[in-house]
């Protein structure tokens, strides 16, 4: 059957469409865990295409080199340490009181009138090392207090914060989506950081500042009294001996600066020189994040009174959610490897070329569809990248171009958050919004962030 498919464009495209439909049916209709759904879809597509069993799963004597092992192991070997270390860094920053220090300093600097801007900047900065939902849990009480003091709708203060957290989670390492996409497309994280900031900051400004200011004046939602009371009570349990603002910002900046230094060092320095080796070593994402975690452990942990047992408990607790994320990413790598082996990538590339549709636009549309259909941004990114990776394999894209492709996929992954997205309900619950109000505010905000992010990626792709 594989010989027939390789010579039948319609057959391969149909197979690709069926595999995506199968994925969505399993996840949406039958509530199958995404990593299991990706695994099943990959296996069924491979068997339907007639790939040899030995190629797919190996043999009883030797499994190494199979699509199953290579697809899982190839991507996890690249990203597991990055996601794990990034999660640890965010957990230590959160436990040390770094979020409160950062937000409090910004609110003081900007004053009451510009408190929404301060909340937006807090989300943008603190969103680099912490997951989206953790950022809400930690910073929501500060939103309640700022909104109560300002006497205005909580929407005016919450939306800028959410915009900052959302764009960082979608576009920037060490978050799972962009890191996984970078691994599947073999893009250096330095370029992901550069292009991520180039797309995220304009999207945050348009969505988190302009749109949020507009909608915040039109939808008046008072601060829920029970949440305000809880926030005031929590302020009595603030971390003793909190870190300085400079230390918090420095810890967040260290891995980003080292990774960027490694990226530019590989371009500007002579390959093989001692300095080239130094920049390459310290600019390796796993090394850069390890340095940041060690510094955070000492400066924000031990030095401020955390015991070894407390840090061990914090480490274990923070890493628990990472397991499922890594399984989804690994299964996505396998699914992409199967699509590549069946020849779908080459067929899609030819079809796109004939139709005149840019790959960056196709990637965005697919990612949007996956996001709207099943809700998870990470699943949308991983699945879309698995579909697109074979398409770009022979197109000789540069690192900046591949990074912009990742940004396009990331942009699509956050569009139109609605009732099938856990983030929708977190926002609704934590800020006292009805379903209608959440759709009017959060759902539209995510769509604005998505569209502006994609437009930036598309425009930049014309000049790099």
Per-residue pLDDT of the chain (464 residues), as tens digits, is 445 444 466 677 788 788 888 988 999 889 899 999 999 999 998 888 888 888 888 765 555 568 888 888 888 888 999 999 999 999 999 899 998 899 999 999 999 899 999 999 999 999 999 999 999 988 998 899 899 889 999 999 999 999 999 999 999 999 999 999 999 999 999 999 999 999 999 999 999 999 999 999 999 999 877 777 766 665 555 667 789 999 999 999 999 999 999 999 999 999 999 999 999 999 999 999 999 999 999 999 999 888 999 999 999 999 988 998 999 999 999 998 888 888 877 777 777 667 777 999 999 999 999 999 999 999 999 999 998 998 888 788 999 999 999 999 999 999 999 999 999 999 999 999 999 999 999 999 999 999 999 999 999 999 99
Structure tokens at 424: 């929708």
C-alpha closest to that of 41 among 381, 386, 409: 386
CA 332, 407, 371, 66: dihedral to nearest 10 degrees? -10
- Interatomic CA distance for residues 215 and 52, integer angstroms: 56
Q: Say how far apart CA 291 and CA 251 lie, in whole Å.
A: 10
CA angle, corner 110, sides to 108 and 116, nearest 5?
105
Burial 229-248 (b: 16+ CB within 10 A, else e): eebeeeeeeebeebbeeebb
Q: Which helix (H) or strand (E) holds 11?
A: helix 9-24
The angle subtended at Cα 19 by Cα 53 and Cα 340, nearest 5°, is 55
Q: Quick one: tokens of 248?
A: 């918090």
Q: How much is the pLDDT for 49?
A: 84
* Within a domain: 58: no
Please indicate, yes or no, if residue 76 is contained in any of the structural domains. Answer: yes
Q: What is the pLDDT of residue 1?
A: 45
Query: Looking at residue 273, what is its pLDDT?
Result: 94
Could you tell me where the DSSP H helices lie in 298-398? 308-319, 322-342, 344-355, 359-374, 377-392
Q: Which domain holds residue 339?
A: 2-52+63-461
Q: Which residues have C-beta within 8 Å of that of residue 136, sequence separation ≥ 6?
A: 161, 162, 165, 426, 427, 430
Please choose, from the candidates 365, 453, 363, 456, the residue with its C-alpha nearest in 3D space to the C-alpha of residue 411.
453
The answer to whether position 57 is within a domain reads no
For residue 222, being part of any structural domain is answered with: yes
Instruction: Kindly state the tokens that stand for 201.
Output: 């900051």
Cα-Cα end-to-end distance for the chain: 41
Q: Which residues contact 361 (CB under 8 A, 6 or more apart)?
A: 408, 458
Would residue 15 count as lying in a domain? yes
166 close to 446: Cβ distance less than 8 angstroms: yes
Identify whether the C-beta of residue 191 lies closer than 8 Å to the C-beta of residue 263. yes
How confident is the model at residue 350, as a pLDDT?
72
Question: Is residue 389, in this structure, part of any structural domain at all?
Answer: yes
Contacts of residue 389, defined as CB under 8 A and 6 or more positions apart, other chains included, come to 184, 185, 336, 339, 340, 345
| 378 falls within a domain | yes
pLDDT of residue 6: 47
Structural domain contains residue 227:
yes
Torsion sign across C-alpha atoms 186, 190, 194, 196 = positive
- The answer to whether 272 and 67 have CB atoms below 8 angstroms apart is no
pTM exceeds 0.85 for this model: yes
State how many domains the chain has: 1
Residue 179, C-beta contacts closer than 8 angstroms, at least 6 positions apart: 79, 82, 83, 86, 173, 189, 192
CA atoms within 13 A on the CB side of 318: 23
């Amino acid at each position: 059957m594989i010989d027939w498919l390789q010579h039948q464009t319609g057959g391969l495209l149909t197979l690709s469409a069926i595999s995506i439909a199968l994925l969505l049916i399993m996840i949406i209709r039958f509530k199958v865990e995404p990593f299991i759904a990706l695994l099943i879809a990959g296996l069924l597509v491979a068997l339907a295409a007639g790939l040899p069993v030995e190629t797919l799963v190996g043999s009883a004597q030797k499994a190494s080199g199979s699509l199953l092992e290579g697809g899982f192991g190839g991507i996890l070997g690249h990203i597991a340490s990055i996601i794990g270390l990034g999660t640890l860094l965010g957990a230590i920053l959160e436990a040390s009181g770094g979020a409160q220090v950062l937000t409090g300093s910004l609110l003081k600097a900007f004053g009451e009138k510009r408190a929404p801007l301060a909340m937006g900047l807090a989300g943008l900065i603190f969103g680099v090392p912490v997951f989206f939902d953790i950022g809400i849990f930690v910073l929501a009480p500060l939103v309640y207090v700022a909104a109560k003091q300002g006497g205005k709708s909580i929407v005016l203060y919450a939306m800028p914060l959410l915009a900052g957290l959302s764009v960082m989670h979608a576009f920037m390492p060490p978050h799972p989506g962009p890191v996984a996409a970078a691994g599947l497309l073999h893009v250096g994280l330095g370029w992901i950081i550069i292009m991520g900031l180039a797309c995220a900051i304009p999207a945050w400004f348009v969505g988190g500042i302009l749109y949020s200011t507009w909608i915040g004046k039109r939808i008046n939602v008072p601060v829920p009294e029970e949440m305000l009371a809880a926030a005031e009570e929590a302020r009595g349990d603030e971390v003793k001996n909190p870190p300085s603002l400079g230390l918090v910002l420095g810890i967040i900046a260290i891995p980003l600066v080292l990774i960027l230094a490694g990226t530019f060092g590989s371009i500007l320095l002579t390959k093989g020189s001692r300095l080239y080796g130094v920049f390459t070593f310290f600019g390796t994402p796993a090394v850069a994040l390890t340095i940041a975690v060690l510094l955070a452990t000492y400066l924000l942990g031990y030095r401020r009174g955390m015991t070894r047992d407390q840090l061990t408990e914090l480490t274990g607790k923070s890493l628990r959610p990472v397991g499922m994320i890594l399984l989804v990413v690994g299964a996505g790598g396998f699914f992409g490897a199967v699509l590549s082996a069946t020849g779908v990538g080459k067929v899609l590339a030819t079809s796109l070329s004939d139709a005149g549709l840019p790959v960056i636009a196709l990637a965005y549309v697919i990612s949007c569809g996956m996001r709207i259909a099943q809700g998870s941004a990470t699943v949308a990114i991983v699945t879309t990248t698995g579909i697109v990776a074979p398409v770009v394999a022979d197109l000789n894209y540069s690192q900046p171009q591949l990074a912009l492709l990742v940004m396009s996929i990331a942009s699509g992954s956050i569009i139109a958050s609605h009732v099938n997205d856990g983030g929708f309900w977190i926002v609704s619950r934590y800020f006292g919004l009805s379903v209608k109000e959440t759709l009017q505010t959060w759902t539209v905000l995510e769509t604005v962030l998505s569209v502006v992010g994609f437009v930036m990626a598309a425009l930049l792709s014309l000049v790099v």
